[in-house]
């Protein structure tokens, strides 16, 4: 049997590196829990036990006026219970030597201290020594996972919008062409080709204004093929590193007076088509306005070709 | 900024498609029933009020990048339109109110005109 390798190890290693970066990047005061539940040294152990149970915490700082006097952990409570659990102040059972971590230190400092002092939680203090929160390893892991999740989503979105550049894809001086056949009077599918063209341009990460202009031009050209032709036509979108060209070709009936057809508001669409919201007499105008270079050729009885060129490097932004 | 979902709630509109996209922000509005005018005039993020309910409104909304469509005056929406809207992820709302009334309500909600 042949050995097979599936490449998950690299991905896992990469994630580890990201987590390591994060624990250096995240500050303790960004991950700590605040406010802190505290008890005074005089508080009875029974109260400490109930407080831990109620808040589901495994340790409590013991403080006087914001100054840390000690820390009482669940192990201390167990010790007290084993000795009979009698009335006794927290001060008699707490650990007096308390390790703390500063709020503006990196989370990695807290992690190092969890290991070094074998503790599960560390009170967080500011530079004056006043307690401002408490941090557990769970806090750091939870926060790191949320940050990683958010970044992962961001990256996915970015990847989705620009997989590669056009130059990489087709090579310099080359182009690729999308070709769609547009059926006559088929308004159920009309708009399909333009939507596809837009999606491809979006996928290439093209400037949104360019995508919009190309989308408008393709849509109007597609609509004209659908509304006005006898047998439909062909819509081409030629995508090259220097320009996007939309071209619509049909075999008739052709336009009798091209300059009249170019007048805004002039329409030869029948009433039933106008009722659908088409035939506003804006189609050719919209194409012309979207184009850096607009050409139309028509001959009655032969057909029409409309060509819309949108330059990618001309720096003419949007409409 | 208000979302399509806020519009549904405040205008008591019915959601016909795009339930998953109701969190989209409504950055402006456009009103019109001539598709070429919408293509030329509407901006990405606009909520579009129209009486047109045929499938092509979805293509227009998708190409312009509209936040959603409100079909006003109780106009009929073609079932194919709703299927396409689901595919393209375009919210389609329906309201029996007149377009003008809906515009007034949207302006009162804080939706700004582009010009």
In angstroms, rounded to a whole number, what is the distance separating the alpha carbons of residues A92 and A129? 23
Residue B13 lies in a domain: yes
Bigger pLDDT: B12 vs A143: B12
Q: Could A280 and B59 be called an inter-chain contact, meaning their C-beta atoms sit closer than 8 Å?
A: no
- Entry pTM: 0.56
Q: Residue B21 maps to which CATH number?
A: 3.40.1390.20
B35 CB-near residues (< 8 Å, 6+ apart): A223, A277, A278, A280, B52, B56, B57, B60
Q: Could A280 and B35 be called an inter-chain contact, meaning their C-beta atoms sit closer than 8 Å?
A: yes
- Look at chain B and report how many structural domains it folds into: 1
Q: Which residues of B touch A281 (CB under 8 A)?
A: 36
ipTM of the complex: 0.71
Nearest to A244, CA basis, from A298, A189, A206: A206
For A206-261, what is each residue's pLDDT tens digit?
A: 888 899 899 999 999 999 998 889 899 999 999 988 899 999 999 989 988 888 88
The pLDDT of residue A256? 86
Residue B115 lies in a domain: no
In angstroms, rounded to a whole number, what is the distance separating the alpha carbons of residues A122 and A135? 5
Q: Which residues of B touch A223 (CB under 8 A)?
A: 35-36
In angstroms, rounded to a whole number, what is the distance separating the alpha carbons of residues B59 and A195? 6
The pLDDT of residue A13? 47
Bigger pLDDT: B31 vs A155: B31
Q: What are chain A's domains?
A: 8-145 (3.10.580.10), 166-311 (3.30.565.10)
Q: Could A212 and B44 be called an inter-chain contact, meaning their C-beta atoms sit closer than 8 Å?
A: yes
Which domain covers residue B49, as residue numbers?
4-108
For A200-217, what is each residue's pLDDT tens digit?
A: 998 888 888 899 899 999
The pLDDT of residue A161? 54
Q: Over chain B, what is the mean pLDDT?
A: 92
Residue B92 lies in a domain: yes
For A165-184, what is each residue's pLDDT tens digit?
A: 667 767 777 888 999 999 99
B31 CB-near residues (< 8 Å, 6+ apart): B48, B49, B50, B99, B103
For A43-77, what is each residue's pLDDT tens digit?
A: 999 999 999 988 888 889 999 877 889 999 989 99
Residue B66 lies in a domain: yes
Q: What is the mean pLDDT of residues A146-167?
A: 68
Residue B78 lies in a domain: yes
Q: For residue B33, what is the nearest residue in chain A, using CA coordinates?
A: A277
Residue B31 lies in a domain: yes
Residue B113 lies in a domain: no
In angstroms, rounded to a whole number, what is the distance separating the alpha carbons of residues B71 and B76? 8
pLDDT at A160 exceeding the cut of 80: no
Interface test with A, best of B37, B56, B115 (most A CBs within 10 A): B56
**What is the secondary structure of A21-76 as a DSSP string?**
HHHHHSBHHHH-B-SPP-B-TTSBHHHHHHHHHHHT-SEEEEEETTEEEEEEEHHH
CB B109 within 8 A of CB B84: no
């Amino acid at each position: 049997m042949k050995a097979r390798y599936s490449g998950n190890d690299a991905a896992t290693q990469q994630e580890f590196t990201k987590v390591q970066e994060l624990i250096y990047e995240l500050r303790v005061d960004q991950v700590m829990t605040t406010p802190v539940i505290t008890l005074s040294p005089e508080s009875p152990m029974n109260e400490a036990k109930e407080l831990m149970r109620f808040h589901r915490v495994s340790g409590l700082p013991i403080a006087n006026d914001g100054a840390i006097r000690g820390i009482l952990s669940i192990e201390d409570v167990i010790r007290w219970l084993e000795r009979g659990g009698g009335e006794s102040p927290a001060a008699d059972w707490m650990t007096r030597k308390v390790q703390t971590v500063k709020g503006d230190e990196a989370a990695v400092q807290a992690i190092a201290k969890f290991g070094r002092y074998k503790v599960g939680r560390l009170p967080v203090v500011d530079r004056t020594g006043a307690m401002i929160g408490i941090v557990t390893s769970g806090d750091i892991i939870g926060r790191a996972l949320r940050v990683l999740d958010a970044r992962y989503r961001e990256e996915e979105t970015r990847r989705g919008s620009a997989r590669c550049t056009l130059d990489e894809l087709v090579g310099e001086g080359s182009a690729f062409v999308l070709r769609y056949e547009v059926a006559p009077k088929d308004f159920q599918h009309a708009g399909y080709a333009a939507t596809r063209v837009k999606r491809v341009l979006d996928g290439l990460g093209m400037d949104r204004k360019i995508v919009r202009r190309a989308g408008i031009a393709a849509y109007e050209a597609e609509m004209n093929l659908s509304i006005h032709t006898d047998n439909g036509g062909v819509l081409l979108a030629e995508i090259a590193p220097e320009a996007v060209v939309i071209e619509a070709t049909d075999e008739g009936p052709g336009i009798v007076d091209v300059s009249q057809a170019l007048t805004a508001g002039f329409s030869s669409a029948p009433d039933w088509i106008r009722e659908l919201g088409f035939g506003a007499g804006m189609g050719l105008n919209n194409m012309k306005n979207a184009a850096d270079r607009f050409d139309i050729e028509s001959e009655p009885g032969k057909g029409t070709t409309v060509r819309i060129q949108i330059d990618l490097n001309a720096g003419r932004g949007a409409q | 900024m208000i979302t399509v979902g806020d519009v549904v709630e405040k205008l008591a509109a019915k959601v016909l498609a795009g339930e998953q996209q109701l969190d989209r922000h409504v950055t402006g509005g456009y009103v019109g029933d001539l598709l070429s005018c919408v293509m030329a005039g509407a901006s990405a993020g606009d909520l579009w009020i129209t009486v047109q309910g045929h499938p092509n409104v979805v293509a227009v909304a998708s190409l312009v990048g509209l936040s959603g469509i409100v079909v006003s005056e109780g106009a009929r929406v073609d079932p194919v339109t709703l299927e396409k809207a689901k595919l393209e992820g375009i919210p389609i709302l329906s309201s029996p109110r007149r377009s003008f009334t809906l515009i007034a309500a949207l302006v009162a909600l804080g939706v700004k005109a582009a010009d």
